A and B are shown apart, each in its own frame.
Chain A
């Protein structure tokens, strides 16, 4: 592995010895029940039910167009659903308005295309939420923001603008921005899919460390390595349906459905 240089995440050698599977999953934090969603005639989520416990890391995989990104985006209602219920921390998702904004502030989201605010510096990106949403004092938010940027290994980029950073640095900044809200859960929507291959590792390192720290995570990804070593459960989706739900060792060694076997044979043989 690379040397932990200035620009690398710093927690590499601070990992606890226990494995992720030791995390005992508490009461459910995110519960989807009979969720349906249509894009016009396309049934993009077909009666999806799923429960994610506190501290659990759930990786969602599946072929393109299987509905996994949409699933991830319904959890903080960036995509409204047509029927079914989604409950977060015991409360059904509110409709548009203040209550929804509050819920979103408790669910961190990391996007495929980073979506850092292009007109704000990296540090301003990280402190914007705490100051404007949580009404924290700018000085306190700044201090915590710098600590978070340090944690993801880009403290030296704090005063730069997003366009001046590499993709990997931008995505780590986006993770810091989400963490700055001290969320109860984090959603990752293909966080490494837009990155150059050599930058994927630095982002996955940050995510792995979060997982080890007990963050509840829903991760849509194509990174099977991450699924294997960081996930408590792997969800396999195809054609809008939740096809399999199993621990990673079981899923990768012995997928039950034909669809999952076919998918794995295509991606794992290379």
Chain B
């Protein structure tokens, strides 16, 4: 473990994972809001909104994330001049967040939509029958009951998002996988231990996350 005994390497390791957590946190919030909104669009009675939601899902779910992140950098930033921060690192960070968010929102949307489909149609009919509007019906009656069915798949989406955050390394943000690559380059004698430390750190973050979502899903269960 001589590699991580070096304070410079330890700092790089910690800051790499800090970027991963920041990317995951920011993208998760944006993707959740966007994804729920897209799911609402996809089940709405307005054809234009349904079409918009479907198009978003089909475009971003079926494009490799690396391409989306590259587009954010070379397309949005280099070509179209979209600058999100004057600080180079922060600019790369926010470009990464944009890419991760639009991509993950497509998966959030589909998880939420499948959860909505587990709520019996009669619940929404009864809500509409007492005069609730479409969005009230969704917010007050349908989404709270979709909870159990939505939370577990959303956990998987969040876990995937955290791992996908390593792709932002390709546009110059020194996140965990970039740090690992650098450390392996510098310490050819300790490739396996370095790899195991990074993989183990991801596992240490994500395994409890998975259990947390499983627990939450059971807590939110609605009796029928």
Q: Which residues of A contact B (CB under 8 A)?
A: 76, 78, 96, 98, 101-109, 111, 113, 115-119, 128-129, 132-133, 161, 163-164, 174, 177-178, 181
Contacts and interface: CB of A to CB of B under 8 A. Distances in A.
Among A78, A119, A164, A174, which residue has the most Cβ atoms of chain B within 10 A? A119
B219 to A, nearest CB: 13
Interface stretch (B34-42, B84-92, B123-131, B198-206): B123-131
B144 A129 contact: no
Contacts of B128: 78, 101, 104
A115 B123 contact: yes
Given A105-B131, A111-B129, 14 more contacts: A98-B133, A101-B132, A104-B129, A106-B131, A108-B129, A111-B126, A115-B120, A115-B126, A117-B126, A118-B224, A129-B132, A132-B136, A177-B126, A181-B130
B123 A178 contact: no
Contacts of A132: 132, 136, 140
B125 A128 contact: no
A178 B130 contact: yes
* Closest CB pairs A-B (n = 9): A105-B131, A115-B126, A129-B130, A115-B122, A109-B129, A133-B131, A163-B223, A104-B131, A119-B222
Contact of A113 (B122, B129, B222, B223): B122
Contact of B132 (A106, A111, A113, A133): A133
Nearest to A77: B128
Contacts of A96: 45, 134
A133 B45 contact: no
Interface residues on B, range: 20 to 34
Nearest to B134: A96
Nearest to A104: B131
A102 B145 CA distance: 25
B197 to A, nearest CB: 44
B122 A133 contact: no
Interface string B111-148: 00000000010110111111111101000110011000
B123 A117 contact: yes
Contacts of A103: 131
Contacts of B45: 96
10 contacts: A78-B125, A101-B132, A102-B131, A115-B126, A117-B126, A118-B123, A128-B130, A128-B140, A132-B132, A174-B126
A119 B144 contact: yes
Interface string B182-224: 0000000000000000000000000000000000000000111
Contacts of A108: 129-130
A112 to B, nearest CB: 9
A96 B222 CA distance: 30
Nearest to B139: A132
Contacts of B145: 117-119
A94 to B, nearest CB: 12
A106 B125 CA distance: 15
Given A96-B45, A111-B126, A118 B131 contact: no
A75 B136 CA distance: 22
A8 to B, nearest CB: 25
Contacts of B126: 109, 111, 115-117, 174, 177
B133 A101 contact: yes
A73 to B, nearest CB: 8
The residue in A109, A117, A174 that gathers the most chain B C-beta atoms within 10 A of its C-beta is: A117
Interface in B152-193: none
Contacts of B123: 115, 117-118
B65 to A, nearest CB: 35
A217 B140 CA distance: 28
A164 B208 CA distance: 34
A174 B122 CA distance: 12
A189 to B, nearest CB: 10
A164 to B, nearest CB: 8
A117 B136 CA distance: 13
B125 A111 contact: yes
A105 B183 CA distance: 66
A116 B125 CA distance: 10
A107 B222 CA distance: 28
Nearest to A187: B129
